[in-house]
Amino acid sequence: MLDWTDRHCRYFHRLLTRHALLYTEMVTTGALIHGDVTRHLRYNDEEHPVALQLGGSEPADLAHCARLGEQWGYDEINLNCGCPSERVQRGAFGACLMAEPALVADCVKAMVDAVQVPVTVKHRIGIDRAEDYGFVRDFVGAVSEAGCRVFIVHARNAWLKGLSPKENRDIPPLRYESAYRLKADFPALTIVVNGGITTSEQVTAHLARVDGVMVGREAYHIPWWLSAWDGTFYGAESGLQTREQVEAQMVAYMEREAAAHGTPWPNVARHMLGLRHGLPGARRWRQVWSDHRLREQPAHEVMALAHAKVS
């Protein structure tokens, strides 16, 4: 979810669900060690619970960055062993790390020793076209011995050559059974399944076999789905608001961000463009909120114009 689940997106999603665990976009160790820590780690207090996802392959660097994440107040540190992009491969991390379970174990142990918050791993079920369950079983076994108790399983292989990152999210076939087998083989571990999940009915079916479900693209593109999660999956009052109330809260947030950090409202508004998905006038509403010619207008004026377009 690189460039998607930034702090503005997470603030928006937290308005829709109070209980789901939110994840940052992947932040590389190099970006934190050599770059602007505040820019990469700043978040809104409302986002809790929120996990910091790291990309890297050097145990000492990951331990240092995990400590930074804990100091900033993140509730979990997650190591990405699932991203298939060539840029990430050149950095020798992401999905290609699955071929080196001993190194991943060293990375996890270094982080576990460095912080008190949970250290988790997100990974694929295989690399390229090999579909040997033993590969992912042995990976999880080795990494769990280093202290990782939570594994987020994107139930597709990562094809490291010949497919773009986008194609890697669609073309390798989903094999949820591998995640189910991991739960059966490692009952003491928390196994979370990810990949291709688009309905509450699918979430409920997975929860009968594993401990949790991670949703990415569908939550981003059809965010109103999140508004049902607290009541459906957490047995909690949803505090359900209307879409218009959520939009108004986002406008207030945009104007606070503009005053405090000079953040242009389009940087925030882009994350809520799916809010009216499926409603009459949704396309016209999106067009207003996507119109960069309006960027100098206050966000509340843009909202009024958007509503005028759909009324």
Catalytic residues: 83
- Name 169's Cβ contacts closer than 8 Å, sequence gap at least 6: 156, 195, 217
- Name 256's Cβ contacts closer than 8 Å, sequence gap at least 6: none
Given a contact cutoff of 8 angstroms between Cβ atoms, the answer to whether 49 and 35 are in contact is: no
What span, in angstroms and rounded, lies between the C-alpha atoms of 177 and 155? 8
Residue 196 is given by DSSP the state S
Amino acid type, 134: G
Q: How far apart are the first and last CA of the chain?
A: 33
Residue 273 is given by DSSP the state T
What span, in angstroms and rounded, lies between the C-alpha atoms of 170 and 262? 37
Given a contact cutoff of 8 angstroms between Cβ atoms, the answer to whether 47 and 14 are in contact is: yes
What span, in angstroms and rounded, lies between the C-alpha atoms of 60 and 237? 43
Q: How many CA atoms lie within 13 A of 159 on its CB side?
A: 15
Given a contact cutoff of 8 angstroms between Cβ atoms, the answer to whether 213 and 197 are in contact is: yes
